[in-house]
Amino acid sequence: MSESRKNKLLIYLSFPITGLTEEETHLLMFKIYLIKEKYDNIIFVDTLKNGMPQERSITNVCHIVRDGRCLIERADLMIVLYMKPSVGQSMEILLMYQLKKPVIVFLPKTLYDKDELHGVSEWLYYHVKSIYKFDNMDDVLSTMDNTIQLL
């Protein structure tokens, strides 16, 4: 473990590459990094650190996946913003599960709040530690902040 990482929790942030505009993604990332500033013992990482891919070429996609796998293997915890079923996010969750590392998922209430399992795959429930349902991004950020305080 590097000196800069010693005694720090590495949290992998999983966001949909599709479904959010670049502006929404940047705003969300900015707000999350404001949370990060409150904690000396946390490092947040994500595959969108360089922004949304400008083109979806095979080279770019492979680079995103390789970077994601490396970051996930180093991470202690994953936080997922699960806006809709996503193959990429499902793979990230599965990799964390295989590595026996906790995953916390945030689901929008508008899509998933009719009953406990409505619209949510049993596979998702099985492979994660916690699922929180939210009304808006401020709910996500507040719950994320509260969860981090408990770590």
Please state the domain extents for the chain: 9-150
Residue 1 is predicted with a pLDDT of: 47
Backbone φ/ψ region at 39: left (φ over 0), alpha (ψ -120 to 50), beta: beta
Q: Who has greater pLDDT, 86 or 48?
A: 86
Decide: pTM greater than 0.85.
no
Structure tokens at 39: 């904690």
CATH 1.10.287.3510 fits 9-150, yes or no: no
Structure tokens at 3: 């000196």
At residue 99, the 3 state secondary structure works out as coil
Of the listed ranges 20-24, 68-72, 83-87, the one predicted with least confidence:
20-24
**What distance in Å separates the CA atoms of residue 73 and residue 99, rounded to the nearest whole number?**
8
**What distance in Å separates the CA atoms of residue 147 and residue 115, rounded to the nearest whole number?**
24
Taking only the tens place, the pLDDT of each residue in 15-63 is 776 666 777 767 777 777 777 777 778 888 876 655 555 555 666 778 7
DSSP 82: -
Reply yes or no on whether the pLDDT at 11 is more than 70. Answer: yes
DSSP 39: -
Q: Which of 20-24, 129-133, 136-140 has the highest average model confidence (pLDDT)?
A: 129-133
